[in-house]
Structure formats: C-alpha cells, structure tokens
Chains A and B, each alone.
Chain A
Amino acid sequence: MKKHSIDRRDFLKSGAVSLAGLSCLPLFRALDSYAEASGSIPILMNAKGVLLADPSRCTGCGRCELACTEFNLGKAHPLVASIKIRRNLNFGPNGAWAGQWLNMGKADQGRIFQETCKQCAHPVPCALACPEDAIRPDAATGARIVDEKKCTGCGICVSACPWEMPTIDPETGKAVKCDLCGGEPECVAACPTRALHYIKWRDLSRESVRRSAGIQSNCLECHK
C-alpha cells in the first residue's frame, strides 16, 4: 500500500474539511504530529465489510457481547466486547439522567441501540492516534485490528474514537476492538432476532450517536 505524503495546508485546502471534520480538529493536530514525526500519514484502504445494527430488532439479550468475548477471547467479558450493548442497555446512548426518562433503553422500555465498530475510512481515528502504529487493516477483511505485540494499552485509541468503541481489557492491559472475526462475525451468528448484519462496507459514521465529545476535548489538553 503506497503511503502518501501530505502537508497540512494542502489537506485543508483540498476541501476534505467539512463541518463534521471541524469536530475532528484534534485529529488534524494528531495528523500534524504524525506527519512531523514520521514524515508521512498512513491512509488505510476501506474495509470490505462492516457490522450494521438494527435497533428495532434488538431485545438486549447480550448474547452478541458474550459470543464476541467467549469465542474470541475465551472468557465471558461484555465490558471488553467489540460490540456494545451493556452500556446502552438501561438508558440508551445518552446514559442515566437524574431519573428522567428518555424513552431509550430498558428503563423506559424503548429501543436498545447496539453499537458497532464503523471500520472507519481514512482518516481512521484509532489507527492514526495510536502512537505504536498498532492498529492496521486485517488482510482478509480490511477490519482495523489491534496488533497485541505492539499495543501498550495506553488507551489513546479509546479517546480518539468518536464512539468509544475500543476497550482496554483490564485483565490483559491491551486494547480490544472489532476485527470482524476474520469475515464471519460471531455476534451476527449469535443474535437470536437477526438484529445484526454483516454488510458490504459503507460509511456508517453519520448514522450513529457520538459518545465522546467530552473525551475528544480532553485530547486538546495535550495536543495543543
């Protein structure tokens, strides 16, 4: 894969900056330092497939999270699952809010929103933020996967992801994220209501509620 050199001014001029992009300002600063350090910015080719969630069908059973961790990691550990249900289950993606009912999640018997990795197109926030260059595309699927040999568990990928999808496993000290199970996602196979689909990759980034506005602004404390 050819690496392209690009300087910041050209990048901004190229019109790749959109309104949504402005919210990725810290990311550009990360790109900046990346470019300074290594002289180039890696551009990952798009993944071949991506997980699509259908919240109308999700019943919150959590078997997707369990399949993900049990069949891949050999333990039942929903906290580190690459698909996120547990954190949305009770109150939806906006979380508990002083007892107010938001008609999301189980607490108000509304929808449960499954969160899946978007396998982002360039610029891939987790990959670009990783100081060890430990997140690279999988050969089979193009999924953005963590190289455990390089990962130091710093957690920057978690902060960089607008959806807070990677997790640092407290038991291994390594980042865990969705690798599409080599092309046969366990979560899709495990879902008892067909609420998950493995589809040809498309950009799902605009379809999902962002979680980490607060965390992204934290990045600015260091990356001035």
Chain B
Amino acid sequence: MSELGGWSGKVLRVDLNTGKIWDEGTLEKYRPYLGGTGIGYKVLWDEVPNGVRAWDPENRIVFACGPLAGTSALCSGRTAVTSLWPPHKDEWVASGHMGGYFASEMKYAGWDAIIIQGRSEKPVWLYVNNGNVQIRNAERLWGSGTYRTHAEICDEMGAAAQVAAIGPAGENLVRMSCVITGNSHSAGGMGSVMGSKNLKAIGIIGSRSVKIEADPGEWKKLIDYALSLAGANNQWVVPSTPQPWSEWHNPRSRWTADPRRYWGAADPPISTGTCHPNDRNSIGYRTLKSIYDFGEVAQDYTVRMDGCHACPIRCFPVMRVPSAARYGAPAEASNTCGGWWAGTRLMRHRFNTYAYLESAVVGKFFADDLGLWNNYNLMPGTFQFAYDHGILKAALSPEEYKRIPWKLYESKNPEFIKDFCRRIAFKIGEFGKAMGEGTDYALQKWRFPREYYLDGQGVRYFKHGHTRHHEWSGAQVGLLINMQYNRDPQCHSHSNFLSSGLPLELLKEIAAERFGSPDAVDANADFTRMNAGKARFAKFSLLRKELHDSLPLCNWMFPWLVSPLKERGYRGDSGLEAKFYSAVTGDQKNEEQLDLDAERIFNLHRCLTMRQMKTRNMREAHDLLPPWVFNDPNGKKPYTPGARAVEKDDMETARDMFYAECGWDEQNGAPTKKTLQRLGLDEVASDLKKAGLGD
C-alpha cells in the first residue's frame, strides 16, 4: 500500500521466459517519474541496454498509468505503453497511448504499472485479478481479432474486466500494429512487441479503491472548479455556431452543440442543445464529434457519444450504419479522428457523404479487429501517393499487381478496405509486407521520388519514418515539437491553446502572461520569426505532454490556459494538474514543482534517445526538419501573410533558443550535466559520460 493517495503502490513484473511474477514498490522505485511514460523511460534506461531489439525477449513493454487514474480527476483514463518502437527499424524509444477503461481497472486491481519482459514459448495471455496474477494459455485465442479476444476474456474473467489485446497484425509481427482496448482505443505501434513475446492480451479486473487524500468536500469543490473551466474537445472554448451565451463563434470549433443538431440515431433523437458553459450536465453534448469527423450527414447515424473513463467530454462518436454489415463489419462503430483512417484516409470519398461515413465504419472494424496501425495517417497517404505515381505498378510483380483488386479501389468500393487491411495484417505479398514494415521500408525499397518528401499538401512525411502532427500550430512551436520524438509527437498542448477559438488579441495577452511575450503567438498562417516567447511555449507544451502521459491526464484536453468563462477573462488554470495531483496524493506540489517532474521525464526520453543513437549531436542527427516546411505550396515568401513556410536560418535560431530554454548544449542540443543534475538525473549524466556522450 502506498502511504500517499492516488498510487496503488505496486508495479507488476512478469517474465515470460521463466513464468516468474513479482512486484516492486512504485514509490520506492519510480516516485520521481510519477507514472506512465515516466516509468516507461526509467525502465528502458535501467533495463534495456543498447543492442536489444524491439522483438528480443530482453525488451520490456511497460503499460503504465499514474496516481490520478481511477479517480474523477477529469480525463484521467489514459494508459501509456512504452517500449522500443517497431514502426521504424532503428527501434528507438517511443510510447503509444490508449484511453478507454484499462488504466482505471489496473488501479482497481492494485497496480500502477505492468512491466512485461521475456518471451513465452507458446501463446499466452496475462490474467490479473487483483493480486492473483497468472500466465494463461492463449492458444485458443491466438489468431482471433481483438473483438473476439475481448469477449472471450471477459467471458472468463467477468463482464467488468478490461482487456488490452493484439490482433493478427501484432501476432504476425507487422510493425504497423497496435494494442487495442475496449474495441475502440488503441496504443499505436506497440502490437508487434506483444506479438514477439507471444503475449496475446492482458485481462484485468479489480475490487479495490483508489485513495483520495483530500477530504471529500474539498475534492468535490476542486472537481466542480475543474468542470467550470472545461471547454469542448481539444479545449475549444467557443461554439461552432452562434450561441446566445458566447461573444464569438468559430466554424472550425469542436464545440458543435446546437439546438438544431442531434444524436440522430438515439431513441428518441436527442438534441445537443445550447450547452451553456455553466451547465455541468450538458458538457457531454458539447462535442458532437460525428459531424466534425464526417460532416453534417453523420447526424442521422449518431447513436450517442463515448470515450474514456472519468471524462465528461465524450469525444468518441458511436455510429450506426447498417449497410456496413454488407462488408462484414458490425453496423455499430466507435472511434474518433484518425481512428477512422481505413475508410476516411484510404478511400477517396468526398467528405460529408454517406459513402465517406460508411467506409469509415467498415474501415474502423477491420483495422481495429486486426490490430492494424496507420502511423497517424502516414501509411494510407503513402499508399495513395504510390498508387497515383505508378510506384506500385513498378514495384510489384505483374502477378501480384494483378491480384490486388484495383477495380474496387477505383470504384471506391468498401470491399477494398477489407482486402487492403488483410493483406497488411497477414503480410500477403510484397505489397502487404511493405505497407506493414514501417513507412521508410517502402520509401527506400520502392525508391519513392523526391516529390514525396516535398509533398507539402499531401503526404507530409516529417522524418525518421513518422509524419507530422500539429506541426504548423504555432509555426516554430509546432515544428520544434515535431522534432523531439522518435515518432509523431502526439502533443496537443500547443494546439489546444492556439485553436481554442478565442481571438488573436486575447491569445496574445494570455501568452504574454504565461510565456513572457505576446509574440509567442502568431496569427494563423501569418508567421513571424522565432523569439524567446515561442521557445518557452514549446518547452511548456512538451513538458505538459509528458506530464499528462504520466499522471495521467488527456493531452487532447489539457493544459487549460483558457476557459469558456467571460467572467474570468477566458483564462483557464494551468495549475490544474498540480491541484489534482496534490489533492489526490496528499503530496503538495505547485505548478513549478510538478513541471520539474515533467522536465525530468522529458529529459530522460532525450537521453535515452541519445544513448540509442550513440550521439550527442542531436541538432544534426535527430532534430531534423523535412524540406517541405521551407516551401509554401503557393510559392509565397515565408513570414508574409498566408505563407505556410519558415526559413532555414530562422529554424536554426529556433533550435538555439529552444536548447537554451531547456538547458541543453547550445551547439548540439544535448542535455547538459548541469541540467541533468538539476533534475536529479545524476546517474543518467554519469552513464552518458561513461558512454562517451556526456559533457
């Protein structure tokens, strides 16, 4: 038991080589790292030396949440999955992140994290019933999709169990595979690590509580305060259509509630209504995500909303499209944004058409049931580029090319989705293998032309096998963020602020308060040169992303620099994370102190990457930019209105300023010994020194 609230106090260890199961004390070993990715990076640093590959038994896969999971801290139902990263052959450290209910059930079973190492000789699954942990035979489950695996394990463990499972893609060591929980939530990229261990799934059920140190009255006040500041999905705080309570509206907003908009397939249909920001009981209606994902046509097919445990926002639309059954997919499907990729990004239907929606529902089933991952849309984009530029015809043998049902693709028939997904999940032919091997494999093997890397409108390959993600949000801020990881950054801290719907003047005011300068914020597509405010903004965004992946909290919502409340001047409270943490654990920390923990976690990731890359020269070896960021698609000069481009010199300045802000070496961007010591990472500093990578 933990002497602090929040944490369960125990981390579960499993060695599939020997069948040994044991536990560690969370606080004794991992307290400075909080949870989530913090624990993940610490385990990799300590236990997975260079030379270990992602599919080796020696690799660890770390499923971790943190002290807030399982409580009503808003949006706390997140699990980080950290390991060596299969989607790129270099396999540097990375994490996938899944929502749903798995994190909470892990806590109710008494575990803050589950760390799995080794490899089982035969297919197994991990049974976790409170402290009763067993490695069970999965031979009957192997080969099943994730949907069936969920049902079978819940049949055995109880309907309230939560399951994280791989499908055939993970089993077959397809690099583009994921771990699925609850049928709809996915941790990208990590499926094949489980597959390599012959680990089909983890099933968890628990009967314990999560302790909250604050007294119930105080906790209730804090929860209510947090609810008062909530916006809609991605912390949009302005509605998409004019509403009586709001000074402004923004058609791009995800606050799509409107009295004329409905959960149209509910029984009876339910209006999303006006959703006044003071109305706690309509927060779940604010984000009618289906019309954001599919267009207005989706209303009639929206049953309700869904999402993760303890989140009031409900950003997962539940769609019912009976005609999907024609293609072998269930009529009902729930996912969000890029999760619909196997329909929306693969097939070329027009947005806001029935066909677009139908393809999405079909695609979601095959992708999620097979446990296929799309590299945040890079895989289907690469496929389309290859198709359009005759690369597939040149790369594949005539026999194989003929066997792929191109007529279905050209006629936009959803049957193609099934064929496409199965080819990849089962590594059928050169096509199936290449699409699933990680983007760089296809690019190199099939000799993609330079145009692919310059394709600023379409594919938007960033670097090292990954794509971009909110890269233009904040100009240099977004670009710096996209450089920092070994996959797309999965960071929304910056875009949650910049795309909140508030007018530019207000954003600049708040940026001045928080980052020391109004120039930290540019107008959309009206970039200015790099400045110190942007460096602070970028660092803040990255630290908060790691903090959220460790506490946990949802980085698609937090941090809350803004709120929908006019009476507060639309200010949010960037200290909410610290308030939740202090109230739940009883460990009183303010914003700065908790950000220090976040900085430690972020720097540990950096050091781990350096160690794996065997370089200190992060500026030149790692923090790279794609060529298309320097060319506006319409040929406009950077830093002129409407131009989506930056200049090379300015981006070197961006690195300079960002490195300085982070306390990293100004030449090469490596964390200095001084910074590592400030963060309590002395041993990491000396390990780096021993490896010839220290200062």
Residues on A lying within 8 angstroms of B by beta carbon are: 56-63, 66-67, 69-80, 86-91, 95-101, 103, 105-111, 170-171, 189-194
Residues in chain A near residue B320, CB distance under 8 A: 109
Which A residue's beta carbon lies closest to that of B68?
A76
- Provide the residues of chain A in CB contact with B220, threshold 8 Å: 70-71
Distance from A205 Cβ to chain B, minimum over Cβ atoms (Å): 23
Whether B150 contacts A107 by the Cβ 8 Å rule is yes
Nearest CB in chain B to that of A193: its residue = B284
B71, B160, B330: the one within 8 Å of A101 (CB): B330
Contact of B211 among A75, A99, A105 (CB under 8 A): A75
Given contacts A61-B284, A62-B310, A70-B219, contact A87 B159 (CB under 8 A): yes
Residues on B with C-beta less than 8 A from A58 are 304
**Of B52-60, B168-176, B202-210, the one with at least 4 CB within 8 A of chain A:** B202-210
A-B contact pairs, 10 of them (CB 8 A): A59-B306, A62-B104, A63-B310, A69-B209, A76-B212, A79-B209, A90-B160, A106-B183, A107-B150, A193-B305
B41: min CB distance to chain A, Å: 27
Question: B267 within 8 Å of A by Cβ?
Answer: yes
Chain B residues with a Cβ under 8 A of chain A: 70-72, 101, 104, 108, 147-148, 150-152, 154-155, 158-161, 182-184, 206-212, 215-216, 219-220, 223, 266-268, 270, 280-285, 303-307, 309-314, 318-320, 330, 332-334
Interchain CB contact under 8 A, A90 and B212: no
Q: Are B314 and A56 in contact (CB under 8 A)?
A: no
* Residue from the list B158, B268, B280, B313 in contact with A56, Cβ < 8 A: B268
Q: Tell me if A192 and B283 are in contact (CB < 8 A).
A: yes
Which of chain A's residues has its CB closest to B107's CB? A76
Known contacts A66-B72, A76-B211, A96-B155; 18 additional CB pairs below 8 A are: A59-B284, A61-B311, A63-B72, A71-B220, A75-B212, A76-B72, A80-B209, A87-B160, A88-B159, A90-B182, A97-B151, A99-B152, A101-B330, A106-B182, A109-B183, A109-B334, A110-B332, A170-B207
- Separation of A100 and B314 alpha carbons in the complex (Å): 26
Contact among A72, A100, A192 for B216, CB-based, below 8 A? A72
Q: Is the CB of B285 within 8 A of A106?
A: no
- Of B208, B267, B334, the residue contacting A106 (CB under 8 A) is B334
In angstroms, how far is the closest chain B Cβ from the Cβ of A163?
15
Taking A70-B212, A71-B220, A171-B208 as contacts, is the C-beta distance between A59 and B314 under 8 angstroms?
yes
A167 → chain B closest CB, angstroms: 10
Contact of B281 (CB < 8 Å), options: A69, A107, A171, A193 = A193
Please report the C-alpha to C-alpha distance between residue A144 and residue B312 in the assembled complex, in whole angstroms: 30
Residue of B nearest to A101 (CB): B330
CA distance A66 to B584 in the complex (A): 13
Chain B residues positioned under 8 Å from A69 (CB to CB): 209
Q: Are B282 and A193 in contact (CB under 8 A)?
A: yes
Q: Let me know if A107 and B183 touch, CB within 8 A.
A: yes
Which residue of the partner chain, among B70, B150, B304, B306, contacts A76 with CB atoms under 8 Å? B70
Partner of A77, one of B150, B184, B210: B210
Instruction: Determine if A61 and B219 form an interchain contact, defined as CB atoms under 8 angstroms apart.
Output: no
Contact residues in A for B282 (Cβ distance below 8 Å): 192-194
Most B Cβ at <10 Å: residue of A62, A76, A101 = A76
Q: Which of B158, B183, B309 contacts A62 (CB 8 A)?
A: B309
- Shortest 10 CB-CB distances between A and B: which pairs? A77-B209, A109-B332, A192-B284, A192-B312, A66-B72, A193-B284, A99-B151, A96-B154, A76-B210, A75-B209
